[in-house]
Structure 1
């Protein structure tokens, strides 16, 4: 079969539970860098690794493509999506504005059950931070943000947020890779939970906007450090042949 994006129209529907499991495992591999950005998804290796046929694997790839984790490229097949630095810089302030508004609405509209759920998730977030489990932290973090969006009760806001959030998924994960930023992030989440319990719309909205913009700052710092490291290695390599 030729490797084109349209090849991913699956003839047979894979079992939802199996496809969902594959999506989760492949998403983790992408976030952790096991599947590298810009590289083809190694279908044969993954079928052997997971012990599945190509049908459920390709169904999972379709889902990941819809979520923005994978791109279906004509004549190349499935490729792990690359981050667009300019787009990330443009989208984070928009996401921050949307989440800030969601926070303001959630503080006014959340019922006690919703507030209790956010409190419990924030406690779980602290535990995952203390155990240094980044994947569990990231998943719990996403659940907190999703819960606050849900508590806003604004369907249009949630829909627009989803369109943007999935385009910067990896950047959000990588933003907490430094120990300093990770510690800052957990403190910000605890401040968000406290503002929600106080039903403080201004405080929650402000904290959520700052939280997102601090993520962007961390991403930019990481980019700069990576560039400097690359330049230093290039200079050292050139020096060896001088």
Structure 2
């Protein structure tokens, strides 16, 4: 019997183009998400498809597919008549979202202290030291990337799938605001201190302590963002 070559099968469909398309899709989504989180695409800004396509070196089809993903995450708004624009939350929405997230993070921390493994704790500590190095170098994007990985790992260590899905959904909406909360040097320094206390609580498996730190950590971010918005409105109205 001769060896069968998969190309002899008329029903065989190569998978490489599909994989390449998925990679392109994920890459475009990631780039646009980072643009929004880091403020390069500011809240309320109308997105110019032609300029974005030129910037990313892509056609309009993958761009529009990526915009649909970001719209589902609540990061952009798409209107049939006006196109796409970066979402802008009201002060009331900001307050409510951060209050909800503070509770989710606190619960994550409490459960994580009960369920985290030594290997997971070691990974979080490694990210913490990388984050401190970025802070020392005044590298906010690098700092934020490690920061969010730490919060993500704590949430994963809670091992509660319902909590996980809710946390992911809310966090997508808040990423840009969480990034902005570190624009003030004093606020950034205070956030670093919070993270040092988080590590101590995790090491001690002190769930109540970690929950308290995480809850206040998120409420402080809420206050920092609301203060920034109020100051911007005062300047624009002057």
Q: TM-score range by the shorter chain?
A: 0.7 to 0.9
Q: Considering only aligned residues, what root-mean-square deviation do their CA atoms show, in Å?
A: 1.8
CA contact (8 A) 2:181 2:224 kept: yes
CA separation in 1, counterparts of 2:173 and 2:38? 17
Deviation at 1:117, TM superposition (A): 1.0
Partner of 1:9: none
List per-residue Cα deviations over 1:156-184 (Å, max 9, x = no partner): 11122222222222211111111000011
For residue 26 of structure 2, the aligned residue among 20, 31, 35 is 20
Unaligned runs of at least 5 residues, structure 2:
1-16
* Equivalent of 2:236 in 219, 230, 241: 230
Residue in structure 2 matched with residue 127 of structure 1 by the alignment: 133
Aligned residues: 221
Q: Report whether the alignment pairs 1:166 with 2:166.
A: no
CA distance in 2, matches of 1:101, 1:144: 15
Secondary structure of the residue that 1:83 maps to in structure 2?
coil
Which shows bigger deviation, 205-214 or 130-139?
Answer: 130-139
Q: For residue 153 of structure 1, give the secondary structure of its aligned residue in structure 2.
A: coil
Cα deviation for residue 136 of structure 1 reads 1.7
Q: 1:92-241, aligned counterparts within 5 Å?
A: 92-231=98-237, 234=238
Of 106-115 and 40-49, more deviation after overlay is shown by 40-49
Which structure has the larger Rg?
2
CA deviation after TM superposition for structure 1 residue 153, in Å: 0.8
2:84 to 44, 62, 78: 78
* Distance of aligned partners of 1:173 and 1:97 in 2 relative to their CA distance in 1, 3 Å threshold: same
User: Normalization by structure 1: what TM-score?
Assistant: 0.85
1:41 aligns with 2:50: no
Does the 8 Å contact 2:120/2:157 carry over to 1?
yes
Partner of 2:6: none
Task: Spell out, residue by residue over 1:136-170, the C-alpha distance to the aligned partner (whole angstroms, 9 max, x if none).
Answer: 22221111111000001111111222222222222
**Cα distance between partner residues in 1 of 2:146 and 2:39:** 20
Segments of 5+ residues of structure 1 without an aligned counterpart are 1-11, 235-242
Q: CA deviation at 1:61?
A: 1.3
Task: Give the TM-score of the pair, scaled to structure 2.
Answer: 0.87
